[in-house]
Amino acid sequence: MAINLQTEVALSGMAGMPSTAVDPLAAMYSNRSAANASLARWNEALEDAEACTTIAPDWSKVSL
């Protein structure tokens, strides 16, 4: 029996993100970097951006 995408997403624990999506940890660092930048916490934003780049160097959002 084939598993449909909705079931796969539910089983992965990442509701709304298919298994082919970017590493969830990279997404978290990216989002936290953006939040820190909006609060003018430049050093923290840079640290999170660098962590994101390390985890997912080929992710297109990393190069923005």
Q: Note the pLDDT tens digit of each residue in 13-37.
A: 555 555 557 889 999 999 999 999 9
d(CA 1, CA 9): 16
The H or E element spanning position 49 is helix 42-55
Contact 33, 52 (CB under 8 A): yes
In a domain, 6, yes or no: no
Residue range of the domain that includes 37: 21-63
In a domain, 48, yes or no: yes
In a domain, 38, yes or no: yes
How many structural domains compose the chain?
1
d(CA 2, CA 5): 10
Token pair belonging to 63: 């190069």
In a domain, 50, yes or no: yes
Q: Note the pLDDT tens digit of each residue in 33-55.
A: 999 999 999 999 999 999 999 99
In a domain, 43, yes or no: yes
- Predicted TM-score (pTM) above 0.95: no
Q: How many Cα atoms within 13 Å fall on the side-chain side of residue 4?
A: 1
